Amino acid sequence: MLAGELYLADDPELSADALRADVLTERFNATSAADPEARRAALAELVGDLGEGVEVRPPLRVDFGYQISIGARTFINVGAVLLDVGRISIGADAQIGPNVQLLTPTHPVDPEPRRAKWEAARPVTIGDNVWLGGGVIVCPGVTIGENTVVGAGSVVTKDLPANVVAVGNPARVIRRIGPEDGVAGEAG
């Protein structure tokens, strides 16, 4: 799975891991904003690595949870879908808008292995201080460089370099981030 090789999704060990994640996700999603310590404890049990000062707002969906690393001071808004069949690494100080999807699973294009339930995965890496606007979809195998901003509703199918603004489907770089960029942003 982690090496990007084909695996069977209904493997008993993976099914047990997915059940564990479902139980922990349900617990996290039921936490109250009035009890941030319980919310953080539930999240820390679910994900593999949780930095200091991370805030994730429920609801959240994951495949396994333990393949997710979230850097310090990162904010993830409501409705995040983090399909961590492969590793998902989110850097420090990232801002992730509502309904963002980080997707690592892939499936064969050939219909026969797909019918036989073979799957694979490729990691997703989000750099430090990245801002993903609402509804962004990041596809398997994508790396987004530090400080990059991805506009709302964009679909990121290929790597994005550091310090750029990208928008669209598929996402494309529209400009570099420079000193003229002030407080107000564009990602949404």
Q: Residue 107 catalytic?
A: yes
* CA dihedral (68, 55, 135, 14) positive or negative: positive
For 80, the enclosing helix (H) or strand (E) is strand 80-83
Residue 43: closest CA among 22, 63, 65, 64: 65
Rounded to an integer, what distance in angstroms lies between the CA atom of residue 22 and that of residue 174? 39
CA distance 33 to 22: 20
Select which of 73, 107, 122, 172 is catalytic: 107
Annotated catalytic residues are 107
